[in-house]
Chains A and B, each alone.
Chain A
Amino acid sequence: MGAFSAIKKEIAVWRRGALPGLVVLVGVIIARLTGSLQFLELVTFDKFLRLRPPEPLDERIVIVGITEADIQRTRTYPISDRDIAALLQRLQTYQPAAIGLDIVRDIPVEPGHATLASLFRTTQNVIGVEVAFPDRSGYTVAPPPALPSEQVGFADSVLDADGYQRRSLLGAHNPQQEYRFSFTLQVAERYLAKQGIELENGIRDVEAMRFGSTELTRVQPNSGGYVRADSGGNQILLNVRSGATPFRVLSLTQIQTGQVDPAWLRGRIVLIGVMSFSAKDLASSGAIAGINPGQVYGVEMQAHAISQILSAMLDQRPLLRVWHEGWEYGWIVAWGLLGISLGRFLQSPWKILLGLGVAVASLMGIGYGLILLGWWVPIVPALLGLVLNGIGLTAALFYRHEQELRLRLEERQFVIEQTFNAIHSGPLQTLVSTLRKAQTEKNLSPVLPDLQRLSQELRTIYASVQREAIADEAHLQMHSAIDLALQAPLHDLLYTVYCNTLERDLPHLQALKVKIVQFDPLNTRHLRLEHKRGLCRFLEEALCNVGKYAVGATKLTVICTQEDQQQVIRVSDNGMGEPLEPTLPSTRGLGTQLAKNLAKQLGGTFRRYPNQPKGTVCELTWSATRSWFWQR
C-alpha cells in the first residue's frame, strides 16, 4: 500500500473516530473560556509553585517584626510613635538602603508623635504606607501626614475569588484619579535607585514598568489561568520566594538590644511590620508553604513582592510569564490530539492506560519544568483534553470502529460463502453429473480420475476461502449491488430464479412436459437480505436436484405461497424417485445442510419426502408472522 493511500486511509479513520474527541476538545476550550476551569487552574498553579525546591535566603531584605511579645512588653497597642521613632533612629545607625514602614500611622499615637513627625521630615529613605482604595465600609487610610508623598506607597493588594493573593499591584489610580505607586514598588525603586537603576516605561508594553532590562509584564484579564480577571492598575504575577525561610526576620527586641550583625542591615531593605495574629495584618497565598499554610503576615507578602522585582533585576531570577492565548489553546489542542492518538494507535485498554500514564506524567513534568523557568502554562485544560480523549470517548469510539470492522469481515465471509455456493450449484453440479455419467459407462473413461480430482479440488477451495479474510473494499461494493437487486419482491426474485434454472442444461429438466407453478407475494417484512438470497439459493438447489435425479419426470410443480400461517416453497416432481439415501453424499449433503441452516435461521422447517404416486417433494416452510426468533 502506498504512503499516500495509507495517509488517506488514516484520515478516513480519524474522520470517523476523532470527531467526538474534537467535540470533547471544543468542550474543554469552551469550559476554559467561560471560566469554569479558572479555580482548578489557579489551585494547580499554587501547587506547582509550592513544590519548587527551596531558594536561598534573600539577604537584601530584612524584616523587623513587631511581635505579640513586643506588644505585651510595651503594653500599648498600637505601638506608640515614640517606640517607632526610636526603632527608626536605631535602624538608621546601620545605614540601610531603605526602610519600609508597613504600619499605618495616619493618626498620632502619643507619646512621641512630634519626634516621629520630625524624623519623617528629615529622612529620605523611609517609605510609609497608606490604604488608597476604599474598603467595604468605604474608608481609606491616609499616609503619615509628615511624610512627603514620594515616600508613600499604598498597601492595598488584589485578591482572587478564593481570597488568595497571586498578583502584586504596582500602581493604580486612586478614587480621586491620582496615580499612586504601591509600597512594594516605592521600596524597590528606592533600593534600585541607589544602584543607579531608574524606573522607566516598558519597551514591549509602554504601560508596563521597567527597571533596566527587566520589564514587569502586566497581568491581562485572561493571563494564564485567569478568565476576565480584574486587571485594573498595573499588576504583575506574584512569584513568591520558595523555601521555609525566604527572609531574615528580626524582632523589635533584637534591634532594641542590639543583638544583630550590622552586616545584616547595612545597605539592605528593612521592612517593619506587625507580626502578630492579634493585629490581623495577614495575607493569604496558596503558593507559600509554611507552618500555617496559606497565611503569612502582610509584611512578609510585601517582602516577597519586593524581592521578586529585585531578584529579577539583579539575579536574573525569572518573573512569572504567560503565553500568548493562541499558544495556550494550541498547547491544549495538542495534548487533546495526543489523547485521541492514544486511543487510535494503542488499541489494548492496558496499553492505552499505560500510554496515558506516561502522557499525564509528561504533561505534569513539562508544566512543572516550565514553572521553574517562570512560564505559567495551562495544565488543567490540557490534562482534561488528554484524559477524556485518552480513556473516554475516543477509546470507546475506536473500539466501536473495530467492532464495525469485524462485522464487515463477517459480511465479507458471507460473500465468500455465497461465491462458493454459486460454484456449488453451478459448475460443481455439472461436474458431478458428468462424473456420474462417466461412472455408469461400461468402459471407464480415462479422464475419470482427473474429473474426480477436479471435483476434490473444487471442494478444497471451499475450505480455503472460508479461512481467507481478504481486506478488499471492492467486495463490499459488489455486496451492495447484490443487495440492490435483492430489493425486488421475493416472489419476483424466486420466479426469476425458477426461469433461469429451468434453462440449465440438466438431463431431466429438458424432459419435463408440464410445469405447474404459482408464485404469490410472500411476507418478507422480517427477512434480511441474506435470507432472501438464501431462499433463492434453496429454490435453485431444489430445481437442480429435480434436473439431476428425477429420472423420467414429466411434471414439475413449484409452489411459493402462503398456506394458513405458513409460508412455503415447495418443489415436487413425478420422476422415478431418487433414492432417499443420496448416491453422492458429499454434494447432496452440503445442499441439504444449507437448506437446514436456512430453515433454522427462519425458524422454519425443511423437509424432503416422497411424492404420491411417485416422485419427490422438497419443501421449506416458515412462519409468516413469527419474527422474534430470527429478527436482528
Chain B
Amino acid sequence: MSQIPQPQKQTFLVVDDHALVLDGTLSILKQAYPEVDILTAQTAEEALKQTEQTDPDLVILDLVMPDTIGETAQANSGLQLLKTLMELHPKLNLVVQSAHTRTLIWLKSTIDNHMGGFTVVDKSQPVKDLLTMVDWALRERTYTPKEIRNGLQLKPAWMQVLQFAFQESLQDTAIAKRMNVSERTVQYYWSKIRDVLEVYPDEDKNLRIQTEVRAREAGLLD
C-alpha cells in the first residue's frame, strides 16, 4: 500500500468511547503512520472541541457514543456528531468505524454533499480494510457500504459531470467552467460518482475509462 507524501506533520483524531477499541485503533494507526500525531476523544463534545482546535487531517469515529462524560452511549449522538462535523468542516476527511453503519442512511443527503473524503468500515472487518479506508479518506475518496447507497442514486450535478466527460469528452477544467464550480468540486463529484458506480482504485487501470465503462453499463449514458 502506498503512503501519500507528507509535506508537514499530519494529525489524526480518533473518537471512540470504548477504551479498548480506542487503544486497538491507536496502535494500528501508529504502526502504519509512525510520523502522524494521533489525538483521541471519548465523547462527542470532546471530539468537536479537538477538531475545532487542531484542525486534523483525518477523523476516525464511532457512531455510538455518549454526548458528554458520564452519559450512556447513544446511537443518536454519534450520528449527530458526524452530521455536525460534516456541516462545520465540509472538507474534513472522515472514516466511520462502527458496528452499526446501517444508520448512516439517515445522513445520506449530508454525506452526498460532503466534499472531503468519506469512508466507512465495519468494526468486524479486518485491520487491512481499516487501513485501506483511512488511506482512501486521506485521498479524499468516498466509500459507502452498499446498503446505504440506495442502489444507483445520483445527484443531478453528478449526472452533468458524466455527460460532459463522456458525451462531450471534456477535461475536468472545462467541466468546472461549464458548470460554474471549482475544479476541486468536480473532483469531489467524481469521488461520489465512483462510489456509486463502485469504481475503486486499481493500480493497473485508468480510473476515468473504468468509470465510463461502468456508467454505460448502468445506463447512465444514453
Contact = CB atoms under 8 A, between A and B. Distances in A.
Contact of B108 (A499, A513, A554): A499
A518 to B, nearest CB: 5
A494 to B, nearest CB: 9
Nearest to B159: A516
A514 B154 contact: yes
A517 B153 contact: yes
Interface string B136-155: 00000000000000111111
Given A491-B109, A519-B109, A554-B219, A502 B155 contact: no
A492 interface: yes
A516 B154 contact: yes
A519 B150 CA distance: 14
A394 to B, nearest CB: 47
B105 interface: yes
A216 to B, nearest CB: 77
B109 A513 contact: no
B218 A517 contact: no
Contact of B109 (A495, A502, A512, A554): A495
B153 A515 contact: yes
Contact of B220 (A492, A512, A514, A559): A514
Contacts of B105: 499
Interface in B168-222: 218-220
Contacts of A516: 153-156, 159
A496 interface: yes
A559 B156 contact: yes
Interface in A155-185: none
Interface in B99-152: 105-106, 108-109, 150-152
A42 to B, nearest CB: 69
B157 to A, nearest CB: 8
Contact of B150 (A492, A499, A513): A499
A431 B180 CA distance: 48
Interface in A492-550: 492, 495-496, 499, 502, 512-519
Nearest to B148: A499
B150 A514 contact: no
Given A496-B106, A554-B219, A512 B151 contact: yes
A386 B70 CA distance: 58
A116 to B, nearest CB: 106
Contacts of A514: 152-154, 218-220
Contacts of B218: 513-514
B155 to A, nearest CB: 5
B166 to A, nearest CB: 15
A524 to B, nearest CB: 15
A518 B156 CA distance: 7
A454 to B, nearest CB: 33
B110 to A, nearest CB: 8
Nearest to B220: A514
A513 B222 CA distance: 13
Interface in A552-600: 554, 557, 559
Which residue among A491, A514, A515, A559 has the maximum number of chain B CB atoms within 10 Å of its CB? A514
A517 B218 CA distance: 16
A492 B109 CA distance: 8
A25 B139 CA distance: 77
Contact of A515 (B106, B151, B157, B219): B151
Contacts of B152: 513-515
Contact of A502 (B150, B156, B157, B159): B150
Interface residues of B, number: 16
Contacts of B151: 512-513, 515
Contacts of B219: 513-514, 554
Interface residues of A, number: 17
Contacts of B155: 516-518
A543 to B, nearest CB: 13
Nearest to B107: A492
B82 to A, nearest CB: 14
Nearest to A555: B219
Contacts of B153: 514-517
Contacts of B109: 491-492, 495, 519
Contacts of B106: 492, 496
Contacts of B150: 499, 502, 515
Contacts of A518: 155-157
A611 to B, nearest CB: 15
A4 B109 CA distance: 53
A169 to B, nearest CB: 79
A450 to B, nearest CB: 36
B167 to A, nearest CB: 16
A559 B154 CA distance: 11
B154 A515 contact: yes
Nearest to B158: A516
A580 B192 CA distance: 37
A15 B153 CA distance: 56
B217 to A, nearest CB: 10
A513 to B, nearest CB: 5
A11 B150 CA distance: 55
A559 B153 CA distance: 12
A580 B164 CA distance: 34
A559 B219 CA distance: 20
A554 B154 CA distance: 14
A556 to B, nearest CB: 9
Nearest to B155: A518
B45 to A, nearest CB: 22
Contacts of A517: 153-155
B88 to A, nearest CB: 16
A571 to B, nearest CB: 14
Interface string B72-108: 0000000000000000000000000000000001101
B10 to A, nearest CB: 33
Contacts of A512: 151
A462 to B, nearest CB: 32
A173 B219 CA distance: 118
A420 B139 CA distance: 51
A539 to B, nearest CB: 14
Contacts of B154: 514-517
A492 B86 CA distance: 15
Contacts of A519: 109
Contacts of A515: 150-154
Nearest to A521: B109
Nearest to B157: A518
B147 to A, nearest CB: 11
A540 to B, nearest CB: 16
Nearest to B151: A515
Contacts of A513: 151-152, 218-219
Contacts of A554: 219
Nearest to A519: B109
A310 B62 CA distance: 101
Interface of B: 105-106, 108-109, 150-157, 159, 218-220
27 contacts: A491-B109, A492-B106, A495-B108, A495-B109, A496-B106, A499-B105, A499-B108, A502-B150, A513-B151, A513-B152, A513-B218, A514-B152, A514-B153, A514-B154, A514-B218, A514-B219, A515-B151, A515-B152, A515-B154, A516-B155, A516-B156, A516-B159, A517-B153, A517-B154, A518-B155, A519-B109, A557-B156
Nearest 4 Cβ contacts at the A-B interface: A515-B153, A519-B109, A514-B152, A495-B109
Given A499-B150, A514-B219, A559-B156, 4 more contacts: A515-B154, A516-B156, A517-B155, A557-B156
